[in-house]
Amino acid sequence: MTMLSVNVNKIAVLRNSRGGSEPDVSRAAAVCLQAGAGGITIHPRPDQRHIRYGDARALSTLCAARAEFNIEGNGFAPPREGYPGLLALVADTQPTQCTLVPDSDAQITSDHGFDLAADAARLKPLVASLKVHRCRVSLFVDADCQDIERAAEIGADRVEIYTGPFAEAFLQGDYARELDACVRTAERAQRAGLGVNAGHDLSQANLAAFKAAMPQLAEVSIGHALIGEALYEGLATTVRNYLQILR
C-alpha cells in the first residue's frame, strides 16, 4: 500500500500566528500516527515561519522506531539564527528520508522541481553527505522532467513528483494530460531504479484518480489539504479517509 506521510507544517503556522505552544505540533502528529499514517513530514524554512528546530527534534523522537520521519528542504540554504541548515538538521534528527527541494526563502510553497541537468554537479555531493546519516534521499522533480534518470546517477533513492499542475487541472475537470505526464515520469523513474513519491495539492477529491493511475507509488506527502479538511471532519477521521482511498 502507498504510505501516507502527513505534513504538519500548517499546525505550526497556526501555533506561530498566536505564539505559545498551541496547537501542539507533536500532539497533532501523534493523532495522525494513531489514526494509521505511516509517516510525518516537515519542511522547515530558514525564516522559521512554521516548523522550528525544536519541532524537528521532538518529531524525530516521536517517530523513532514507530513511523517514518521525512524532512524536506533546500540543502543549499545557509544556516542562520534558529536554523542550523538542512545537513545539520538531518545529522541531529536522523530522519528516515530527506527530500531535497529547490525552493527559495521568498516562496510561499514549493512550486517546481530540480533541473537535474543543470543541478546535478552540486546535488551529487549533497546527496552523498546526506547518506552519511543513513537516510533515504528523494529529489523533488516536475512531472515532465526530461532527465529523470540523472536522479539515480546523482545517488538519490527516490524522486517526489510535483503534483501541483495535476491538482490544478483536476479542478478544471480536464486532467488527463497532466496525469499522463506524472505516470510517464514515474515509469521512467522506476526503470532507472528509483522509488516514486508524490506530493503537492493532493486531496481527497483527486487522490483516488492519481493513485489508480500509478500502482508503483511508494508514498504521498499531504499537508495543506488534509489539515484544511480536518477542520471540518476532525484530524483522525481525515487521516483514515486518506488511508481508505490509498487502499
Active site annotation includes 224? no
Measuring CA to CA, which residue among 66, 64, 84, 63 is closest to residue 75?
84
Residue of 50, 72, 178, 229 marked catalytic: 72
Active site annotation includes 200? yes
Per-residue pLDDT of the chain (247 residues; tens, 9 = 90+): 999 999 999 999 999 999 999 999 999 999 999 999 999 999 999 999 999 999 999 999 999 989 999 999 999 999 999 899 999 999 999 999 999 999 776 666 666 789 999 999 999 999 999 999 999 999 999 999 999 999 999 999 999 999 999 999 999 999 999 999 999 999 999 999 999 999 999 999 999 999 999 999 999 999 999 999 999 999 999 999 999 999 9
Grid coordinates given for 37? 499514517
**Residues in contact with 232: Cβ distance below 8 Å, sequence separation at least 6, in sequence order:** none
For 63-92, letters b (16+ CB in 10 Å) and e give beeebbbbbbbbbebeeeeebbbbbebbee
If one counts the domains in the chain, the total is 1
Q: pTM of this prediction? A: 0.94
Per DSSP (E only), the strands in 83-238 are 97-100, 136-141, 158-162, 195-199, 217-222
Residue in the structure block whose three cell numbers are 516536475: 142
Residue of 50, 160, 178, 200 marked catalytic: 200
Q: State the residue range of the domain holding 206.
A: 3-246
Which CATH number do you get for residue 148?
3.20.20.70
Grid coordinates given for 76? 543549499
Residue of 43, 50, 160, 178 marked catalytic: 43
Give, in order, the Cα–Cα distances in Å from 66 to each of 33, 203, 222.
9, 25, 19
